[in-house]
Amino acid sequence: MTYYGRLLIFCLCIGPPLPLIWSAWQGSATPEPTPPPKTGLLTSPVSPFKAPEDEELKAMIADYRTKWTRVSGLQFSGMHWGQSVLVYINQKPEIYKHNHLTYLREFEEFDEDEEYEYTPYPVGTILLKENFLVNLAEKTQPLTQTIMIKREAGYDKEMGDWEYVQISQDGKLIVRGAGSRDAAVAAVCGNCHKNLSNRDYIFHTVGR
């Protein structure tokens, strides 16, 4: 019997498993990428908060969950009324990362003789915090969004030219304005942030 005849008989004897073996080999050689999850609090592209009723704010933060960078996981924040927060930034996430690492170093090895250098944020930077109440059943209830917007020089020199905004879960404006001039804004935001001038008034206490 010729070589090709023996090869034909061999293939016929193997039968159906041969395509399966080939398919498995091909699959292991070029695996299909796994698509990212589209559900869950951290991964969903859909915000659990309604869009702001204010048209300027609505346009400003539109699609932030898909177009901005999330710079934290769901972190407990004693500075935000004992709630848990998710933090997003619209530009320059590397500045937030640098400042967060600087904060950790300062916290862990504080030395009065060392200067811990934080990088200020450029005009147009927006930091958005989603604020949640996490109960004992480990369910999250969306409460408010708090936003900091870096305005042009002179907007509020005493508070680093940041504008503060708080919006309810259903999109209604609670407070908005300058931390050093508006009493309501100062009570909700400014009185805590004003002590952080060396960090450009941002806490940077949450990480990914």
Overall pTM surpassing 0.85 (yes/no)? no
CA–CA separation, 92 and 145 (whole Å): 20
How crowded is residue 57: how many other Cβ atoms within 10 Å of its Cβ? 19
Averaged pLDDT for residues 106-115: 78
Q: Is the dihedral of CA 83, 37, 52, 140 positive or negative?
A: negative
Quickly count: other Cβ atoms within 10 Å of residue 115's Cβ: 8
Model pLDDT, residue 185: 93
Among 16, 65, 62, 25, smallest CA distance to 43 is for 65
Where does the pLDDT of residue 147 fall: very low under 50, low under 70, confident under 90, or very high at 90 and above? very high
As a whole number of angstroms, the distance between CA 188 and CA 176 comes to: 10
pLDDT tens readout for residues 66-84:
999 999 988 887 666 678 8
What residues does each domain of the chain span? 1-34, 55-199
The model's confidence at residue 24, banded by pLDDT at 50, 70 and 90, is very low
pLDDT tens for each residue of 32-52:
544 444 558 888 999 999 999
